[in-house]
């Protein structure tokens, strides 16, 4: 039970009371589908346990590959320093051999399937494979250099200490890694968190199969289902039903969930489609459990959770190493921008302070990643007593609330430059869908009411600039079409993201900002 935490089986009466509350919320959610659905107290209590993120297995494995490469390379140079043999291998030659041997070892370990979580958890079982990979890599390296140099005069004493030191390192390091991963798994530091959508027998069977996995790293955080107690019991295999699907959307926004597993048969096509319309806006993997389906596809059509086959419906965008690369991109180019633009920012601050009363900066609450509320920084462009922190009343052409300096910095988007500090704080990216004010409207209608799937924009961090903005969709939103097109461009960016795409948008931004037609 260290993997799958179950509810107290004796608290059935409390669960029954929650079910009646769930049913009432379900009816209310049908009437106000666009509004966030408040989750019940018990679900909120569970959500509090999963607010902190976990360590990604993909990142850990990548870091381990790098560690082993660098360590084996360093070991070769250290051994050469103390045991140079007959001196036939100069330092430069040994360094070249160390690079090749280390890279070949990592490649051999990959081919031997030793870079998987189950393999890393094993302390001794895979040790023969690991030592065999190191032996083969070192022998191939020595053989290659002997052929290239046309000599085999190197003495064994030059390489035996290298082999022994590398073997000892790999054995000790893998033993410690196995201990660390087992400990992280027990403490919930490295796990994949899942929510099951759908109750009844399909969910019960899925849970039983997952519990039987020897090296299971899935933690089930709850079950959500729209159906009543007659068709979907309040307890499924010892796990409580926490709420309805609309409540699930809010639950995921409060937690760090990795995947949603839909436990429904493929024959329930209409219900699955209805669920996906509600859930695709979330920044998580969405999978359809396929273990109980009679229809079988080619093996490559499936991913697996342990040995349980899954059909991938949606994947979380910008994940694992992509998120690391994007964060590095943001920090580097933000520091470059600040180094280049600080004189302009200083002049702007002086102009604002000299021409109107009030602070230089203005903060506003906006939607961030996963619909979280963040405070973004801007240069103040309005008179202090007329400012609108909610963003509900959009700025229009000739708006009397805007100062003389404000008109200039808004048209040129200079007022957005302080958001570079939001990027350094990790709340924004340089490139992404623009963050909208929490009460932003188009003709007295919230953006979420105008565009179906609007909140899918929040599957990634919002950006200082974006694909929609450089294509002319910036400024005032005075009709439905403008927010629809803006959202369409944002979703295109999310689905087609790459660092090259970010770079293209970043360098086109100063050019496209010359078009100030819709900026007031």
Q: Render 470-503 in DSSP notation, one character per residue.
A: HTT--S---SHHHHHHHHHHHHHHHHT--HHHHH
Q: What ranges do the domains of the chain cover?
A: 15-54+191-314, 57-187, 320-512
Mean pLDDT calculated for residue range 465-492: 84
In order of 17, 31, 492, the CA distances from 25 in angstroms are 13, 10, 34
Res 81: pLDDT? 80
Rounded-to-10 torsion of CA 298, 301, 307, 310? -130
Each as own residue / partner, the long-range contacts of residues 304-311 (CB below 8 Å, 24 or more positions apart, any chain) are 305/192, 305/194, 305/210, 305/213, 305/218, 305/261, 306/210, 306/213, 306/215, 306/216, 306/218, 307/213, 308/206, 308/209, 308/210, 308/213, 310/261, 311/287
Number of residues written out for the chain = 520
- Whether 370 has a pLDDT exceeding 90, the answer reads no
- Whether 333 has a pLDDT exceeding 60, the answer reads yes
Any idea what the Cα angle at residue 124 is, between residues 118 and 128, rounded to 5°?
100
Res 122: pLDDT? 82
Other C-beta atoms lying within 10 Å of the C-beta of residue 201: 12
Q: Residue 519 has which token pair? A: 């900026």
Please write the tens of the pLDDT for every residue from 451-466: 888 888 989 999 999 9
Mean pLDDT calculated for residue range 372-398: 80
- Whether 389 has a pLDDT exceeding 90, the answer reads no
- Whether 199 has a pLDDT exceeding 80, the answer reads no
298 versus 462: the higher-pLDDT residue is 462
Q: Which of 180, 69, 184, 168 is nearest to 127 (CA)?
A: 168
Could you tell me if 286 and 260 are in contact, meaning their C-beta atoms sit under 8 angstroms apart? yes
Of 103-117, 249-263, 382-396, 466-480, give the range with the top mean pLDDT: 103-117
93 Ramachandran zone, left/alpha/beta (phi>0; psi -120 to 50): alpha
Mean pLDDT computed over every residue of the chain = 81
Rounded-to-10 torsion of CA 225, 231, 235, 238? -100
Indicate the CATH number of 15-54+191-314 among 3.40.430.10, 3.40.50.720, 3.50.50.60, 1.10.3720.10. Answer: 3.40.50.720
Q: With pLDDT > 90 as the criterion, what percentage of the chain qualifies?
A: 28
Q: How confident is the model at residue 74 (pLDDT cuts 50, 70, 90)?
A: very high
Q: Is 209 exposed, middle or buried (0-12, 13-18, 19+ CB in 10 A)?
A: middle
């Amino acid at each position: 039970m260290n993997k799958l935490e179950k509810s107290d089986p004796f608290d059935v009466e409390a669960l029954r009371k929650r079910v009646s509350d769930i049913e009432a919320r379900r009816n209310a959610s049908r009437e106000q589908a666009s509004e966030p659905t408040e989750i019940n107290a018990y679900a909120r209590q569970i959500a509090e346990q999963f607010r902190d993120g976990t360590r990604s297995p993909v990142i850990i494995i990548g870091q381990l590959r790098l560690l082993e490469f660098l360590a084996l390379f360093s070991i070769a140079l250290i051994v050469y320093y103390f045991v140079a043999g007959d001196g036939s291998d100069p330092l430069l030659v040994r360094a070249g051999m160390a690079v090749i041997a280390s890279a070949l070892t990592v490649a051999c370990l990959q081919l031997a399937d030793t870079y998987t979580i189950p393999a890393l958890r094993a302390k001794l079982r895979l040790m023969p494979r690991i030592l065999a990979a190191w032996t083969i890599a070192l022998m191939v390296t020595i053989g290659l250099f002997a052929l290239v140099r046309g000599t085999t005069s190197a003495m064994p004493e030059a390489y035996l200490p290298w082999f022994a030191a590398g073997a000892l390192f790999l054995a000790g390091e893998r033993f410690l890694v196995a201990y660390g991963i087992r400990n992280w798994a027990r403490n919930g530091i490295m796990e994949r968190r899942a929510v099951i959508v759908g109750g009844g027998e399909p969910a019960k069977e899925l849970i039983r199969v997952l519990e039987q996995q020897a090296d299971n790293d899935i933690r089930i955080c709850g079950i959500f289902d729209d159906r009543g107690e007659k068709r979907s019991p309040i307890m499924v295999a010892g796990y409580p039903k926490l709420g309805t699907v609309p409540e699930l959307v809010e639950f995921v926004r409060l937690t760090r969930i990795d995947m949603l597993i839909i436990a429904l048969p493929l024959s329930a096509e209409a219900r699955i489609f209805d669920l996906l319309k509600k859930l695709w806006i979330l920044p998580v993997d969405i999978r359809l459990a396929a273990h109980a389906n009679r229809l079988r596809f080619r093996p490559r059509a499936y991913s697996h959770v342990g040995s349980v086959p899954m059909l991938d419906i949606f994947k979380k965008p910008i994940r694992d190493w992509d998120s690391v690369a994007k964060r590095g991109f943001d920090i580097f180019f933000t520091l470059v921008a600040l180094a280049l633009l600080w004189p302009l920012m200083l002049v702007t601050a002086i102009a604002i302070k000299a021409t109107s009363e009030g602070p230089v900066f203005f903060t506003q609450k906006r939607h961030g990643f996963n619909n979280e509320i963040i405070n973004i920084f801007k240069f103040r462009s309005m008179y202090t007593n007329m400012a609108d922190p909610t963003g509900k009343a959009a700025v229009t052409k000739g708006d009397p609330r805007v100062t003389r300096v404000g008109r200039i910095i808004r048209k040129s988007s200079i007022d957005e430059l302080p958001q570079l500090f939001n990027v350094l704080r990790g709340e924004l990216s340089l490139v992404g869908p623009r963050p909208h004010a929490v009460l932003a409207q188009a003709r007295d209608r919230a953006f979420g009411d105008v565009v179906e799937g609007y909140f899918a924009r929040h599957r990634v961090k919002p950006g200082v600039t974006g694909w929609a903005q450089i294509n002319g969709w910036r400024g005032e939103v005075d009709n439905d079409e403008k927010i629809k097109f803006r959202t369409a461009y944002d979703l295109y960016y999310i689905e087609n993201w790459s660092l090259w795409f970010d770079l293209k948008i970043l360098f086109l931004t100063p050019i496209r900002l010359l078009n100030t037609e819709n900026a007031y």
